[in-house]
Structure 1
Amino acid sequence: MEMNELFYRDAYVKEFDGVVVSCEKMKDGYGIVLDDTAFYPEGGGQPGDTGYLNDVKVTDTKRIEDLVVHLCKESIAVGTVVHGRIDWDRRFDNMQAHTGEHLFSGLVHHLYGYDNVGFHMGEVIQVDFNGPLSWQDVNKVELLANQAIWRNEPVIIQYPDEKTLSELDYRSKKELQGKIRIVCVGKEDVCACCGTHVQSTGEIGLFKVLTCEKHKGGTRLTMLAGSKAYAYVSMLFEQGQKISHLLSAPMEQLASSVEKLQKEKTAADGKLQQYVRDNLLQKVQNARVENGLMILFGEGVSRNDLRHCAKQALLQEEVKTIAICSKEDNSSYSYLIMSECLPLRTLGKQLNQLLDGRGGGSDELIQGTFLKEQEEIVTVLKEVLHG
């Protein structure tokens, strides 16, 4: 820990005074170094702080060649005394998230023996573990993490001497040299870490896992802590209230109400599709046939029903070629053409060219999509398929 790293001496400092010791032109602005700073530089998966030096916006903070560099759009003269103001809400979100991640990762390590091999904090916390975790495992760890939060256990930061460190069982992603900073989160975790943390687990407030998926032989999780977790749960509650109102069902019964609605929709869709098929079959019975060609139009007809109705049409002795088109939601037309006498594979290319179509098939059957209007489709079908 360097003497100019106020963020380590007191992670709760929101405003401070410092002196500019260097200001260097950089790619997108200026890099400003102070004699002391409460701005945390990006590191250990935690984003760098933002805020202000006097009225100059600090867009990020990074550690460059062991110096804490404040990235700014404007320059500040060397020797200037500046008043620093950290974006505290953002910093405290990061402190809640980082300590929450330690709590969760420590529990996973104790329960399953897996290591945290990847960590990133942004809109969500993303953590990779080098072993498989099921949703049941994740829910168990999540509950234990929140129970530790409710117990309001202390978060202690220490710099053990070599002897103490050699006897300490702690987590670390890599081999470390020199003075090692150890963060102890209650009884759940002991880990080498360079980030900023809350003083007790109770300040994390709430911990919620969002997703769990397989990743490179292990598990990738996304999660939220603190105010972001609260905002997420509140959003879900508001959404649940709206859905409850729309379904006229208690929130506790939303899942069963949606399942019932899905079953009713499936049944209704089946009845509708049967009606569409029956209506098209009726058209098959009443359609005009010109020179062995029958042309039919429907709407919302499935590919299977197009094929079924085409086969039924070809059972009529006078029908040698059948073209059925179904209007889709985007105003295009799905088509299926079957013939007992025409080389449809070749003719299909001609039809697609004339009707902005896509598709293909065999000499006996072609299918695809036309983008022209019905009147033009009829005209082109007659010209091409009569020939």
Structure 2
Amino acid sequence: MLFQMSAECFSSQFVTSVVSCCPADLKQEVNGKKETLKGFNVKLQDTILFPEGGGQPDDHGLIGDVPVLRVTRQGAEAIHFVRSSLEEGQEVQLKVDWERRFDHMQQHSGQHLITALADTMFGYKTTSWELGRQRSSIELDTPCVKPAELQALEEAVNEKIRAHVPVTVQLLSIDDPAVEKVRSRGLPDDHAGPIRIIDIEGVDANMCCGTHVSNLSHLQVIKLLGTEKGKKSKTNLIFLTGNRVLKYAEKSYSTERSLVSLLKTGADDHVEAVDKLQKSVKLLQKSNLSLLRDMAVLIAQNFKNSPQRGNFFSLHKKEGDNEFMNIIANEIGTEETLVFLTVGEEKGPGLFLLAGPSGVVTEMGPRVLEMLQGKGAGKNGRFQGKANSLARRGDVEAFLQEHCKHHASEEE
């Protein structure tokens, strides 16, 4: 069975039995990387774990002591993905991850309320919505929502919450005339069974398969964070409901206290303080770049004026960029001198430049690139790029010095 339609959304435990358990894979993203998990797809006689659908993510929980990592819908069946096999026919107890379930209930019921009042008050239709991990959004069929409308909408939804409006579930047959009177974006092609209606008394009746609160007071509060430009002349309305508002306030306060400590100012002055800091940083960066350019010229002139100068010059500096290195190479002149320059952490990533006689650079460049584990290219006597590690910089320098000595002895 898909989902125990008549069951209370507040049910957190349930006894059922295993119908089937088959080997399966689950593709998911962990810390930004995609991975495939080996496991089993389990069908149960009945379930209280909600499968993903209607804009709402699936429930998580336990089958016995086996974690349920995903619940999906296949027609009228709910498929539970687990990592350990379960015996067909055995009786098992389901436990819902209640914190996740109640969060989804709050966000979903909150979406229904916002959607209904946005339509009633301003004629803005909802075309889709997303229940995100930290915040949720409703796509409204309008190019913009005015600030005054946003404020009025937030006041209206919270007034309904304070009014303790009941939320009830109705199950209707698909041919019931009452179905035609409820709001809907259409049924899935593989829908089976009765039509489930979520009725917010006096506010909205809407087809929905998701889990919901039984009274708007359970939403606690709704905060409309603002709007973002959507696609094709639509607007995304960003909102938080219930416990997410509390977590957002807690996180915001923690951030505020950290900024008070760092900026040495009260919260009301943070924006001004950061603006001043950014302007100061820009001035410092500009001055630093100017000093680096002057330093590059002095470094090159010092080498050129040295009586012991040879045909090889090497330098590493923690601070610098490609322009800094090219100024040095240009000032020294690389028609007869081989120049090897690097900037960055001594044993970390950085930038490099190999400049000198064209034939020598063409020959040595790929080997230098290999030793620095980098990426780069060269032409006209210049070979430069990024180094993943400067740990072997000394080896490169020795390699180039040896080449210069060998070349000098050949000329003699």
2:45: which partner in 1? Answer: 33
Q: RMSD of the TM alignment (CA)?
A: 4.4
Structure 1 residues 216 and 25 mapped into 2: Cα distance closer, same or farther (>3 Å)? farther
State the SS of the aligned residue for 2:45.
strand
- Alpha carbons 2:318, 2:346 under 8 Å: kept: no
> Are the equivalent residues in 2 in contact too, given 1:335–1:367 (CA < 8 A)?
yes
For the pair 1:362 / 2:379, whether they are aligned, the reply is yes
Aligned to 2:35: none
> Pick from 261, 268, 280: which aligns with 2:284?
268
- Paired residue for 1:172? 185
Q: Secondary structure at the match of 2:377?
A: strand
Q: Which residue of 2 aligns with 1:303?
A: 322
- The 10-residue stretch of structure 1 (375-384 or 248-257) with the greater mean CA deviation from structure 2: 375-384
In structure 2, the partner of 1:116 is 127
For structure 1, the 5+ residue unaligned runs are: none
Letter of the 2:403 partner, please give it: E
**What CA distance in whole angstroms lies between the structure 1 residues aligned with 2:335 and 2:251?**
60
Give the whole-Å Cα distance in 1 for the aligned partners of 2:3 and 2:179.
22
Shift of 1:129: 3.2
- Cross-structure match for 2:252: 236
Give secondary structure in 1 for the equivalent of 2:214: coil
* Deviations, residues 72-113 of structure 1 (Å, cap 9, x unaligned): 7544756x6x76654433322121011122233445556464
Aligned pair 1:201/2:213, yes or no?
A: no
Q: Which amino acid aligns with 2:43?
A: G
Instruction: Provide the C-alpha distance between the structure 1 equivalents of 2:383 and 2:51, rounded to a whole number of angstroms.
Output: 63
**Whole-Å Cα distance in 1 between the matches of residues 13 and 397 of structure 2?**
73
Judged with a 3 Å threshold, the aligned counterparts in structure 2 of structure 1 residues 197 and 363 are, in CA distance, closer, same or farther, namely same
Aligned-partner residue type, residue 360 of structure 1: A
CA distance in 1, matches of 2:355, 2:148: 56
Q: Summarize the Cα distance change of 1:311–1:50 in structure 2 as closer, same or farther, 3 Å threshold.
A: closer
- Distance change in 2, residues 1:286/1:173 (3 Å): same
- Pick the aligned partner of 2:198 from 179, 183, 188: 183
Verify the 8 A CA contact 1:360 1:367 in the aligned structure 2: yes
What is the identity percentage for the equivalent residue pairs of Structure 1 and Structure 2? 20
Change beyond 3 A, Cα 1:75–1:374: closer
Q: What's 1:281 paired with?
A: 297
Deviations 1:177-208 (A, max 9, x none): 88543334467654321112113333222445
Instruction: Give a deviation string over 1:228-255, Cα, whole Å, max 9, x none.
Output: 3422331232122112212112122222
* Bigger Cα displacement from structure 2, 182-191 vs 347-356: 182-191
User: With structure 1 as the length reference, what TM-score do the two structures score?
Assistant: 0.73
The answer as to whether partners of 1:300 and 1:326 remain within 8 angstroms in 2 is no
Secondary structure at the aligned position of 1:181 is classed as: strand
* Cα separation, partners in 2 of 1:172 and 1:75, compared to 1, 3 Å: same
Please say if 1:380 is aligned against 2:376.
no
Query: In structure 2, what is the equivalent of residue 328 of structure 1?
Result: 344
| 1:98 pairs with 2:112 | no
Aligned mate of 1:350, from 352, 358, 364: 364
TM norm structure 2: 0.69
Deviations 1:98-151 (A, max 9, x none): 1122233445556464443354x46346557375756x6699548724641343
Matched letter for residue 377 of structure 2: G
* CA distance in structure 1 between the aligned counterparts of 2:312 and 2:44, rounded to whole angstroms: 81
- After TM superposition, give the deviation of residue 324 of structure 1 in Å: 5.5
Note closer, same or farther for the CA distance 1:210–1:83 as it changes in structure 2 (3 Å cut): farther
- Taking the TM superposition and a 5 Å limit, the aligned residue runs for 1:74-93 are 74-75=86-87, 77=89, 85-93=95-103
1:307, distance to aligned residue in structure 2 (A): 2.5
1:310 to 1:56, Cα distance in 2 relative to 1, 3 A: closer
What CA distance in whole angstroms lies between the structure 2 residues aligned with 1:68 and 1:294?
70
Task: State the alpha-carbon separation in 1 of the partners of residues 66 and 98 from structure 2.
Answer: 14
What secondary structure, in the 3-state scheme, does the structure 2 residue paired with 1:257 have? helix
- In 1, the alpha carbon distance for the partners of 2:367 and 2:262 equals 47
* Range with greater deviation from structure 2 (37-46 or 138-147): 138-147
* Aligned 8 A contact 2:182 2:207 in 1: no
Return the alpha-carbon distance in structure 1 between the equivalents of residues 396 and 80 of structure 2.
66
Give distance in 2, aligned partners of 1:369 and 1:11: 56
Q: Which residue identity does 1:24 align to in structure 2? A: S
> Is 1:252 the equivalent of 2:268?
yes
| Cα distance between partner residues in 2 of 1:246 and 1:174 | 53
Structure 1 residues 142 and 361, CA, compared in 2 at 3 Å: closer, same or farther?
farther
Mark the CA change 1:239 to 1:90 in structure 2 (over 3 Å): closer, same or farther.
same
Q: For the structure 1 residues 347 and 62, does the alpha-carbon distance in structure 2 shift closer, same or farther, using more than 3 Å as the test?
A: closer
Is contact 1:321–1:337 with CA below 8 Å preserved after alignment?
no
Change (3 A) 1:302 1:325: same
